Copies of this chain bind each other. A is one copy, B any other.
Amino acid sequence: LLAPLLHGGEAERIFSSESQLAAMVRFEVALATALEDAGVAPSGTGEACERGAAEFPDGEQLERIAQDARASGNLAIPFVKLLTAHVRVRSGDSADFIHYGATSQDLLDTVVVLQMQQVLSLASSEISRICTALVTLVEQHRETVLAGRTWLQQGPPVTFALKAAQWLSSMLRHLERLAASQERACVLQFGGAVGTLASLGDKGPAVARALGERLGLPVPEIPWHTQRDALVEVGTVLALLVGTLGKIARDLALLLQNEVAEVQIASPAGAGGSSTMPHKRNPVSLAVVLSAAVRAPGLASTLLSAMVQEQERGLGGWHAEWETLPELCRITAGALEGMATALETLQIDREAMRRNRNASGELVKQ
């Protein structure tokens, strides 16, 4: 129920059950075709897989997969079983090569990578919106003077352009981080049961290359089943981003207080309102950002804790990522949307800024 408020629609879509299943289908079709390309699977396997997969997603099958995951310990096993059954109806030969050579984690990790690509792209585009709004604020408010505030006490004056420029400087660094983490994290996972692709014999590298090409993902030199640093880095980069958004939101919320009233955020009709005081406007978008800033550190710490995954594939650590990373992505998306909206509708009250400074009328050093 809280998704529309806290997460934003786009992130919900990326992580919906339907999208996840569609991505799983995409992996298996690409793998079937890659196996065919490499001469491992018979001709027509890719197409057979695609036709079998046409049944997905479907509510009832989703439910069945979710229930069967209780016994198997992950979603891949019941999904592959069901998909194979669908393919077998059409082509027994092809059915034998569904998921062939791959382990559950190859499928599930690659799906996460595909989701991360979308999340990072969404984040970049929202950051650009925010940067555009900030650049406008910098340009318009070079002469807008307000009290500097340290320790929540007034100090010497600053310009609003300086505030916006500092916020902007962080956002530009976040763009750098997102790009760097994407390059490290968004690569294929494909290693088979223990990372050796043993069941593919000497065809392993060829299948991997073909699979990577079809999915548009670079093939790393080595699988990363239990080397989670690149994926968790995405999480920490998002948490850093949310930290900055929280800082901006806190600044705005303080300036919005009735007793300060140096800025206003225009709300959509009815937003943040109340029945008895129609002109009251609760800063809903800032609450969304600040709640994300409270939550992101704990979610990031969970991902860091989960990095200790045993041997070739771990027990519990991997499972701890499953809901945590999407949740971090979702609240990041919600916070970005909230902040973009807030900055794009920000109204500055120069007169209030002047009045507040005069009321204090002092300079502070320290």
Contact = CB atoms under 8 A, between A and B. Distances in A.
Interface of A: 1-6, 17, 20, 62, 65-67, 69-75, 77, 103-104, 147-158, 162-163, 165-167, 169-170, 173-174, 176-177, 180, 184, 192-196, 198-199, 220-224, 226-230, 232-233, 236-237, 239-241, 243-244, 246-247, 249-251, 253-254, 256-260, 267-268, 270-277, 280-284, 286-302, 304-320, 322-324, 327, 356, 359-360, 362-366
Contacts of A314: 150-151
> 7 closest pairs, A vs B, by CB?
A290-B316, A148-B194, A243-B307, A274-B366, A276-B365, A291-B319, A298-B302
A166 B222 contact: yes
Contacts of A180: 176-177, 180
Contact of A272 (B2, B73, B177, B295): B73
Given A297-B298, A308-B247, A319-B290, A195 B366 contact: no
Contact of A227 (B4, B169, B194, B220): B169
Nearest to A151: B282
Contacts of A192: 156
Secondary structure class of chain A's binding surface, majority of residues? helix
B229 A174 contact: yes
- Number of copies of this protein chain within its complex: 4
Contacts of A312: 148-150, 155, 158
B222 A232 contact: no
A280 B364 CA distance: 7
Given A70-B5, A259-B359, A301-B297, A366 B275 contact: yes
A277 B222 contact: no
Nearest to A17: B1
Nearest to A221: B169
Contacts of A241: 229
Given A195-B148, A272-B71, A308-B250, A356 B286 contact: no
23 contacts: A1-B62, A1-B75, A3-B66, A71-B272, A148-B193, A152-B256, A166-B223, A167-B227, A169-B220, A169-B224, A174-B229, A232-B240, A251-B311, A259-B259, A275-B365, A277-B362, A277-B365, A280-B362, A286-B315, A290-B317, A294-B317, A294-B320, A297-B300
